[in-house]
Amino acid sequence: MNFMMRRTIWAFRIYLVLPYELVLRIIITEFKTYLDLNESWFLMPFRQIFKNSTIRTDRTSILNSKNKCYKGFPYSDNKDFQKWLNIHYPKPVQKKRICVSGSLSSPPTCSFIMPLYKPDVEYLLICIESILEQSSDDWELCIYTDGVPNLNILKILEAYAFLDFRIKFKVGKVREHISKASNQAIKMTKGKYVALIDQDDFIPPHAVEKVIEYISENTNTDFIYTDEAKIDDNGNLSLPFFKPDWSPDYLTSIMYVCHMLVFRNAFLQELGGFRIGFEGAQDWDLALRASERTNKIGHIQDILYYWRKHPASKAMEGCSTKPYAHENAKKAITESLQRKEEFGVVKTAPFTDNNGFVVDYKIMIPGKICILIPFRDKPLLLDNCLNSISRTVLDLDFEIILIDNSSTDPKTFKVMEKWRIFFGNFLKVFKVECEFNYSIIHNKVISKLSGKYLLFLNNDTEIISKDWLYSLIKYAQKKRIGAVGAKLLYSDKTIIQHAGVIMGLGGGAAHAYRMSDKNTNDYFYRSKVVNNFSCVTAACLMCKYEDFIRVGGFNEDFSHNYNDVDLCLKFLEEGLYNVFLPHVEVVHHESKTRGDDLASNASDKVKERYNKEYQLLRKIWPKYVKEDPYYNKNLSKNSVKFEINNSNE
């Protein structure tokens, strides 16, 4: 009996414990037959094609009718996401290549590691098949079982390893939990890069190809993350997460990089792999430690991972399904801060369903805060602004700098005198006599100041958060931080006016979540947790004095609009991060001082001035107008609510 026939008989011998689709695949492969069939989007529905086959199994088909979407193109009940899938999801590949024997001429680029513990058979098969059906064959799959699996699972692993030599598995003798099991799987890898995949998830057919393409263009990358989405037991795809580029403050708030994570193998070895004692948050801990050791972090703006939602998975309700995961995540963040000497207390962030955190940092670099408030008359607005400041905690070193830009109303002078008496030496008035130019009047005054921190504050604002100065300086003190911004609300205190600035919206820049309820079900907590944006508004913005001077201050060509955007982008160019703080709330009676340049009743002169500054922004900063690093290209530039971009661009 020749070798091929013996292997075929072996395949028949185990068919009773395997889904017959897999048995057929083994048989077909052994006879080196390749079927030119229209496969499903990630698992060929053999039982449909071979429904009259004489080969049968006593087991119920693993891929039962509830997974009906697996038989065709991916399905989502979110219409916008379905449109995106129709455009971007790779079409089924007509032929597949199975590597039956032999060895790779060189190590694979991508090694998948899969720690395995009591897997659902259906989910496991789907996961492995999704790797087998990759458009690129430059991969290997290394499976380590966390303890001895049952006979059925063992036979499935044996069959897949028999089917394709790129699939390897080892059986753990005892239960070691996910961190140790993952480290054992890492030891099996030969690839230059290691990708993490869970036993119940799957990847689309172009995942490996996209990763390799990115690596070939960014050869020094140590750490890559991709976009992701969820899948439920009915095969419905949902919750696409189109992520920002590297955002260190977002990672301290939520585990936004999550799936799929890919590490350069040598770098992963340097990190020591996963740490014991962080189970449930072991990947978050790994990402934090990686970010402390490298800035060569890449992001692929495409969904290359589908995370399964089921009751035992964090994909369903996050850390609330596994309380120990929440505590271990808190521990991982705390230890990361200690290693970076950014000391603070990690707390659960409100309004995040127990999935997010906020850090109450210790003030390590105190210094005088100069609160700059420009105004021209409007005494009631100025009075309200100063009154709101007086009601906050003011035991830090601060001074209020009132910039009087040609006021003439006697009531204004009375307000100034009233608050001069109240604040005493903590309040100073600077007169700047010129036509209004926000940039000029600030640059002139700042050149005469000696504070360590600058806090730009509009006169048409009212402070809500009592500890606002503390919160702002705790972030502004960091060397890596440029601008720190607050959440601005309209007068009713329930509607958002500003939750960060997104470049490219409307062709220029626009405020995230403008006109949305502050309790809105937002996009992965972008308005509810501390995270990074390209820009924040100077209606309430703190930065370091030395940073402001180093980048040249405000560009005086932006007299009314985009001066804050330009400043923030200059910080970005310096390698600094700008950060939005949702817990610092400020009412902004927007444009009450000088009107709205975009109002329908604005004069032709005002409209012309706005258009000039709009065009100047586009001319100076075309890179950011085209692509905001903190706003994924798969999100619409026609919406401030992080809606999906369904264009072909």
Report pLDDT digits (tens) over 122-149: 899 999 999 999 988 899 999 999 888 8
The whole domain housing 600 covers: 369-626
Q: Say if residues 576 and 480 touch (Cβ distance below 8 Å).
A: yes
- The reply to whether 375 and 348 lie within a common domain is no
From 328, 353, 378, the end of a domain falls on 353
Cβ atoms within 10 Å, residue 53: 12
Mean pLDDT score across all residues of the chain:
86
- The reply to whether 433 and 287 lie within a common domain is no
Confidence grade of residue 22 (pLDDT, cut at 50, 70, 90)? low
Contacts of 146 (CB under 8 A, 6+ apart): 115, 116, 117, 172, 175, 176, 177, 178, 180, 181
Q: Fill in the DSSP letter of residue 312.
A: T
Statement: residue 274 has pLDDT above 80: yes
Statement: residue 208 has pLDDT above 70: yes
What average pLDDT does the segment 401-422 reach? 96
Q: How many helices (H) and strands (E) does the chain have?
A: 21, 22
Cβ atoms within 10 Å, residue 15: 21
Tell whether 456 is covered by a domain.
yes
What average pLDDT does the segment 106-119 reach? 88
User: Can you give the C-alpha Rg of the chain in angstroms?
Assistant: 29
- The reply to whether 518 and 461 lie within a common domain is yes
Confidence grade of residue 600 (pLDDT, cut at 50, 70, 90)? low
Statement: residue 152 has pLDDT above 50: yes
- The reply to whether 433 and 567 lie within a common domain is yes
- Which pTM does this prediction carry? 0.87
- Residues in the chain, total: 649
* Tokens matching residue 58: 């006593």
- The reply to whether 305 and 216 lie within a common domain is yes
Q: Say if residues 438 and 464 touch (Cβ distance below 8 Å).
A: no
pLDDT of residue 646: 84
- The reply to whether 374 and 348 lie within a common domain is no
- The reply to whether 428 and 505 lie within a common domain is yes
pLDDT of residue 321: 59
DSSP, collapsed to helix, strand or coil, labels residue 193 as: strand
- The reply to whether 215 and 305 lie within a common domain is yes
Statement: residue 384 has pLDDT above 90: yes
- Listed range (82-96, 227-241, 426-440) with the worst mean pLDDT: 82-96
Cβ atoms within 10 Å, residue 65: 7
pLDDT of residue 221: 95
Confidence grade of residue 272 (pLDDT, cut at 50, 70, 90)? very high
Tell whether 101 is covered by a domain.
no
| More confident position, 427 or 175 | 427
Nearest to 486 by CA among 424, 445, 533, 520: 533
Tell whether 349 is covered by a domain.
yes
- The reply to whether 124 and 203 lie within a common domain is yes
pLDDT of residue 44: 37
3-state helix, strand, coil in the chain (%, to 5): 35, 20, 45
Q: What angle do CA 495, 229, 577 make, to 5 degrees?
A: 55
**In this predicted model, what pLDDT tens digit does every residue of 24-43 receive, in sequence order?**
555 544 443 333 333 333 33
Tell whether 163 is covered by a domain.
yes
Statement: residue 92 has pLDDT above 90: no
Statement: residue 115 has pLDDT above 80: yes
Distance from C-alpha of 649 to C-alpha of 501, rounded to nearest angstrom: 22
Distance from C-alpha of 416 to C-alpha of 398, rounded to nearest angstrom: 18
Tell whether 634 is covered by a domain.
no
Beta strand segments in 309-421, E: 344-348, 357-361, 369-375, 398-404
What average pLDDT does the segment 222-228 reach? 97
**In this predicted model, what pLDDT tens digit does every residue of 479-504 receive, in sequence order?**
999 999 999 999 999 999 999 999 99
- The reply to whether 270 and 400 lie within a common domain is no
Query: How buried is 38 (Cβ within 10 angstroms: 0-12 exposed, 13-18 middle, 19+ buried)?
Result: exposed
The structural domain count of the chain equals 3
Contacts of 285 (CB under 8 A, 6+ apart): 274, 275, 278, 328, 329, 332, 335, 336
Tell whether 633 is covered by a domain.
no
Statement: residue 185 has pLDDT above 50: yes
What average pLDDT does the segment 339-354 reach? 92
Q: Say if residues 153 and 119 touch (Cβ distance below 8 Å).
A: yes
pLDDT of residue 25: 53
CA 509 to chain centre: 20
Question: Is the peptide bond preceding residue 503 cis, with omega within 30 degrees of 0?
Answer: no
Cβ atoms within 10 Å, residue 358: 22
pLDDT of residue 265: 96
Q: Write the CATH number for 154.
A: 3.90.550.10
- The reply to whether 204 and 280 lie within a common domain is yes
Beta strand segments in 441-526, E: 453-457, 461-463, 481-489, 496-498, 501-503, 509-511
Q: Say if residues 349 and 357 touch (Cβ distance below 8 Å).
A: yes
Helix axes 151-163, 121-132, angle to 10 degrees: 10
* Tokens matching residue 479: 């060397």
pLDDT of residue 590: 76
Q: Give the DSSP H or E segment for 543.
A: strand 540-544
Confidence grade of residue 93 (pLDDT, cut at 50, 70, 90)? low
Q: Say if residues 477 and 359 touch (Cβ distance below 8 Å).
A: no
- Listed range (50-64, 308-322, 514-528, 536-550) with the worst mean pLDDT: 50-64
Tell whether 269 is covered by a domain.
yes
Tell whether 631 is covered by a domain.
no
Residue with tokens 């999704």: 130
pLDDT of residue 603: 81
How far, CA to CA in Å, does 168 sit from each of 9, 162, 187? 22, 9, 12
The fraction of the chain above a pLDDT of 90, given in percent, is 70
pLDDT of residue 312: 60
Q: What angle do CA 428, 490, 406 make, to 5 degrees?
A: 35
The residue type found at 487 is K
Statement: residue 166 has pLDDT above 90: yes
- The reply to whether 140 and 28 lie within a common domain is no
293-296, long-range: CB < 8 A, 24+ apart: 293/222, 293/267, 294/222, 294/223, 294/267, 296/218, 296/220, 296/221, 296/222, 296/223
What is the SS3 assignment for 212-265?
A: HHHHHHCCCCCEEEEEEEEECCCCEEEEEECCCCCCHHHHHHCCCCCCCEEEEH
pLDDT of residue 5: 43
Statement: residue 49 has pLDDT above 60: no
Q: Write the CATH number for 447.
A: 3.90.550.60
Contacts of 497 (CB under 8 A, 6+ apart): 488, 489, 490, 511, 514, 515, 588, 590
